[in-house]
Structure 1
Amino acid sequence: MTDLDVAFLESGDEPRTESLPLSHLSVELGHLYMDDFRGGPARLRELFAEVRPWAEAAQARCRAALGGQARISTCFLVDDYFTPFGSPAEIVPMLRHAAEESGLVIDYLARESSCAATGATQPARLVEDRLVAEPPRQTNGSRPPVTETGWLCNGERSPHTGEAGEAMEDRPGWRPPRQTLANNHSIFLDVELWDEVRGERRWSCPMLAAVWQLLRLGLLRDEGRAVARPVPAPDPLPPTWRELPPVIELRRGARPFFAYRTFTAMPSRFLPVEDAVRTILGQVAVERAVTELVLTRAAAEGLALPADVLRRVEYAFFADPWRVTPPESRASTGR
């Protein structure tokens, strides 16, 4: 028998904001795509070998700052949204084994599709509802809002002059796009959040990645309830990804999945995507109750946690791995 935690609220009361256990740092060890899976265990070991030095450096930095009290967890994301492949029963053991052979341990595994929907909750919609796009100067309201267009930018777009006007009508000259709060010169980004395929919304990779960051930071709530709480990995693992919970715990006793800060190491080819992710995160208004809850918790631990969410998200981008050609197959260079 366990005690029931029952809360009685007046109908007009706001829902209670659920508190979450928090690590100091969430380290992402990888993101599995179908092409990587096709490469088999050797490709997985190669991926983990690329990530390991960066993951270890991030953990060492955290421990250097916080000492033995540092709480660090690791996670791994599987792309079952754009290109579903394989099955959890086949892939999860392969991933765990490849990580262990590379000297890494995966604490939590998540499905990318759960960033779009998990049960009755749609995390991507929750984030879209919290977007506060800054209106450009001299706007006339002719451009539909982001919820209708699916496009979000970090400033002011160039005016559209392609439509025919009335005779003798003055037409505005061309103006370049302009970044909000540009530092001398603009770096303008216009990000597609979603499109429609056969009448259904399909979220973009940057949008799902932004949701993923907010999930790891423990900043998403659905009417006060936490989103995508991890659960122990089912035994046996199901044959389809749809049957797998959104986030599963692979190592019993692991530090919390949610964390004050996140760290992600990834190939440099994903830099444009992460630029787009940061554009999105920079315009998400996290619920005030959640923000205050996390900042108060951090202060109680003596942590100087930035109020700006973007400053809690860290990366390491690396180039293609070093490959050494066997001596017998090298061309003679005369050296």
Structure 2
Amino acid sequence: MNRPTAAFRETSAEPRTESVPYSHLSLELGHLYMEDFAEGADRLRRHFVTARPWADAVRESTAARLANGRARISTCFLIDDYFSRLSTPDRLIPPLLDAAADAGLTIDYLARESGCAVTAGTGRAELRLAESVLNRLVESPPPGSSGFRPPVSRTGWLSNGRRGPAQRTSAALDSTRATWQPPSETTARGHSVFLDVELWSGPAEERTWSCAFLASVWQLVRLGLLRDKGGAVLTPTPWDGGEFPADWDELPAVVRLNPRAEPFTAYSTCSVLPARFLAVEHAVRVVLEQVHVEADALTPSLERSAKEGFAVPAGIADRTSYVFPPGL
């Protein structure tokens, strides 16, 4: 006779999921390349002057969703120090903050794009953040798929549907087999908008993450949905108001510039971006729709937002929104 066995586990062995504070909205005031900064202060001023009325409209529409009209909104700005470093923080950041202030805007949090690739994890150990998100991808198989397609972890490509067949056949030799089939979007409404997203390039040990994939990580961070051994990642570091360092690696991945700022993480996000980012952000949505987020991180945001009368969708991609102003 087999006797039932009991399994005992130390509760301390199970990592506790750290709770994070939430604003109602994380409002991104821009994301510029180093080449944009190289154009000088006038380029920065044009950016923020153009973004200002759209940012104000987003604030008003967010407040209108709440019965009391008092929305917690934090602002952020992402600097590309991953793909190029044409300048240094001490030279680049002060003119950026001045240009925003001249337009009547305050940047609460400043982030480095390289922090979305590798950052400090729990216990200050190095965390390969982009790689950890890659490991969370669960591809959505298109209807009728046979599983022939290699996994994203091997190819580095993620799609929102069924690709066209790679194998070519000769209609003259075999008239019963189709020589070509169009790709199709899994959730198409009438007609497909198929997208195939490159997540990285280079060998596995020296990957260069794509802008689209790092932007996906950036969205997940702003939504407060990523954890490392239960701990929150990219927690903002308060800035003391002193001079910025001359090396990007000496600047924390996320800096809280405004001591009175609302929380960095938020129930929803909105990004005011140049139109050239439209294709990138389409790719971001494809990635977010196929990321698995642990329930311990996902459920609190759903429950707490609903209690505040600011319910957000369960789908991660549906919590993000964008504004692409003309002339930005």
TM score, norm. by length of structure 1? 0.87
Structure 1 residue 31, shift from structure 2 partner: 1.2
String of CA shifts for 1:206-226, please: whole Å, max 9, x gaps: 101111111111111112110
Could you tell me which residue of structure 1 aligns to residue 267 of structure 2?
260
Equivalenced residue count is 311
Structure 1 residue 10, shift from structure 2 partner: 2.1
| 235-244 or 48-57: bigger deviation | 235-244
String of CA shifts for 1:83-122, please: whole Å, max 9, x gaps: 1121111211111111111111110000000011103112
After superposition, the Cα gap between the structure-2 partners of 1:82 and 1:305, relative to the gap in structure 1 and judged at 3 Å, is: same
Could you tell me which residue of structure 2 aligns to residue 214 of structure 1?
220
For the 8 Å contact 2:118–2:127, the answer to whether it is kept is yes
For the 8 Å contact 1:210–1:277, the answer to whether it is kept is yes
Could you tell me which residue of structure 2 aligns to residue 202 of structure 1?
208
Could you tell me which residue of structure 1 aligns to residue 123 of structure 2?
none
| 22-31 or 123-132: bigger deviation | 123-132
Could you tell me which residue of structure 1 aligns to residue 236 of structure 2?
230
Structure 1 residue 320, shift from structure 2 partner: 2.4
1:172-191 aligned within 5 A: 172-191=178-197
SS at match of 1:54: helix
Answer yes or no: is 1:57 the counterpart of 2:57. yes
Cα separation, 2, equivalents of 1:253 and 1:10: 40
1:52-131 aligned within 5 A: 52-66=52-66, 67-119=68-120, 120-131=126-137
Could you tell me which residue of structure 2 aligns to residue 46 of structure 1?
46
After superposition, the Cα gap between the structure-2 partners of 1:92 and 1:311, relative to the gap in structure 1 and judged at 3 Å, is: same
Counterpart code for 2:209: W
Could you tell me which residue of structure 1 aligns to residue 285 of structure 2?
278
Cα separation, 2, equivalents of 1:301 and 1:221: 24
Cα separation, 1, equivalents of 2:84 and 2:59: 31
Could you tell me which residue of structure 1 aligns to residue 303 of structure 2?
296
Could you tell me which residue of structure 2 aligns to residue 29 of structure 1?
29
SS at match of 1:318: coil
Cα separation, 1, equivalents of 2:298 and 2:204: 38
Structure 1 residue 312, shift from structure 2 partner: 1.1
Cα separation, 2, equivalents of 1:140 and 1:60: 48
Cα separation, 1, equivalents of 2:270 and 2:20: 19
For the aligned residue pairs, the C-alpha RMSD in angstroms reads: 2.2
Could you tell me which residue of structure 1 aligns to residue 5 of structure 2?
none
Cα separation, 1, equivalents of 2:244 and 2:284: 32
For the 8 Å contact 2:107–2:257, the answer to whether it is kept is yes
For the 8 Å contact 1:23–1:255, the answer to whether it is kept is yes
For the 8 Å contact 1:20–1:218, the answer to whether it is kept is yes
Moved over 6 A (4+): 167-170
After superposition, the Cα gap between the structure-2 partners of 1:198 and 1:298, relative to the gap in structure 1 and judged at 3 Å, is: closer
Structure 1 residue 140, shift from structure 2 partner: 3.8
For the 8 Å contact 2:134–2:153, the answer to whether it is kept is yes
Cα separation, 2, equivalents of 1:60 and 1:238: 36
Counting aligned pairs with the same residue, the percent is: 51
Counterpart code for 1:145: P
